[in-house]
Amino acid sequence: MSEWLNRFRTFLAKRSGVALDADKLYFVESRLQSLAQQYGMASAEDLFARIEKSGDPVLESEIIQALLTNETFFFRDRIPFDHFRNVVLPHLVEARAAKRHIRIWCAAASTGQEPYSLAMILDEEARRLAGWRVEILATDLSEQALETARQGVYTQFEVQRGLPINQLLRYFHREGDRWRVAEHLRARVQFRQFNLLSDFQPLGAFDVIFCRNVLLYFDLDLRRKVLNRLVGAMAPDGYLALGATESVVGICDRLEPHPKHQSICTRRDTIASPPVALARPALKLISGGS
Ligand SMILES: C[S@@+](CC[C@H](N)C(=O)[O-])C[C@H]1O[C@@H](n2cnc3c(N)ncnc32)[C@H](O)[C@@H]1O
């Protein structure tokens, strides 16, 4: 492996947490090629040499963003969203009845499909949330992805991935060959750049955290650190949803995975466990389990 690719791997891991496998390094050159051209450089290696020399923060951020994988789609994997609607929300409606305030964090929101999926569910559950304040904070390291998320404009291909037709027609309107998310849905989500390597404390505590399909890019040690910090950012009866292939087992024993769906976790150190049923339960059942 070229020496510069080794240094690049260290640079990327330090800034973003993303740990590239040695056998994936070939794609660094192809991903950076067009950026190199934009900057009048012959190769990705020359582009990186410029960063090493000048430390230009704008170029640095562009290079990192070019390497991040922003793959996402509406209602991805379905189960965490069904669980949110059928179990988490009824529990929170009861448990937070006094303050009527719920805080949700999408911690690697990419281009916005995940927070907008949650916003659609909240809109559909508006009757039971009348008079409530429900915040959705959507963060990501990539400013470019967040810009797309803020715009809320998606291609036909993007809306066809995971979004049922009735929700497409209800929450989006056509603009040429694209679809724009309805303003009232967009207004439900606050977008902000945030690096998962930084301190979570300023963000406060959350009732629900979706941190999906990002920890898999980190090495084991960093996954453990971030999971522990996520626990610190969860309300005692809060929920954490990870990606379908991600798990806390053997990494963070402060989290209890759902018996059937390992990617949905609650805090183990909580005095009373929140409910784990997945079918749409009656509210009474929920209050009995919380
Ligand atoms: C594969 S996408 C997952 C999007 C969405 N959560 C989902 O599951 O569909 C991973 C996202 O993590 C973001 N990311 C990578 N490293 C990050 C970091 N250190 N802090 C915050 N976001 C990061 C990337 O920019 C990307 O948008």
What is the best residue among 31, 84, 141 to mutate for testing ligand 1's pocket, by most ligand atoms within 8 Å of CB?
Answer: 141
- Short-list 141, 134, 125, 139, CA closest to 81: 125
Q: What is the pLDDT of residues 244-268, one digit of tens each?
A: 999 999 999 999 999 999 999 999 9
Taking residues 117-144, report their average pLDDT.
Answer: 97
What pLDDT shows up at residue 287? 32
Ligand 1, atom 16, residue with closest C-alpha:
16
CA distances from 172 to 164, 179, 203 (A): 12, 6, 30
Average pLDDT of the segment spanning 118-134 = 97
Average pLDDT over residues 31-59: 92
Across 178-233, where does the E strand assignment appear?
Answer: 178-181, 189-193, 206-210
Residues of the chain above pLDDT 70, percent: 93
Domains observed in the chain: 3-67 (no CATH), 79-289 (3.40.50.150)
Residue 49 scores a pLDDT above 70: yes
- The count of C-alpha atoms lying within 13 angstroms of the C-alpha of 66, restricted to the half-sphere facing its C-beta, is 20
Query: CA 246 to CA 112: how far, in whole Å?
Result: 20
Give the residue, 217 or 278, on which the prediction is more confident.
217
Ligand 1 binding pocket includes 265 (Cβ within 6 Å): no
Give residue 42's Cα distance to chain centre: 35
31 is catalytic: yes
Minimum-distance ligand 1 atom for the alpha carbon of 110: 27
In sequence order, which residues have a C-beta less than 8 Å from that of residue 121 and are 6 or more positions away? 81, 84, 85, 89
Please identify which of the residues 9, 76, 103, 140 carries the catalytic annotation: 140
Most ligand 1 atoms within 8 A of CB, residue of 61, 64, 78, 110 to mutate: 110
Q: Is the shortest distance between the CB of 223 and ligand 1 below 6 Å? A: no
Q: What does pTM read for this prediction?
A: 0.92
pLDDT tens track for 172-183: 999 999 999 999
Mean pLDDT computed over 83-108: 97
Mean pLDDT along residues 200-209: 97
Q: How far is the CA of 167 from the centre of ligand 1 (A)?
A: 24
Buried b (16+ CB within 10 A) or exposed e, 158-194: bbeebbeeebbeebbeeeeeebbbbeebbebbebeeb
pLDDT in tens, 50-78: 999 988 999 999 999 999 999 999 999 99
* Mean pLDDT, the chain, whole residue set: 92
Give the model's pLDDT for residue 32: 93
| pLDDT recorded at residue 26 | 81
Q: If we measure between CA atoms, which residue out of 79, 153, 166 comes closest to residue 120?
A: 166
Q: Confidence class of residue 124 from pLDDT cuts 50, 70 and 90? A: very high
Instruction: List the residue whose alpha carbon is closest to atom 9 of ligand 1.
Output: 72
Which value, in Å, is the radius of gyration of the alpha carbons in the chain?
20
pLDDT over 70 at 198, yes or no: yes
Q: Are strands 234-241 and 206-210 parallel, antiparallel or unpaired?
A: parallel
Mean pLDDT of 80-93: 97
Residue 284 pLDDT > 60: no
- Provide the terminal-to-terminal Cα distance of the chain, rounded to the nearest Å: 54
Q: Closest Cα to atom 25, ligand 1: which residue?
A: 142
How wide is the angle at C-alpha 28 spanned by C-alphas 23 and 31, nearest 5°? 135
Report the DSSP beta bridge partners of residue 36. none
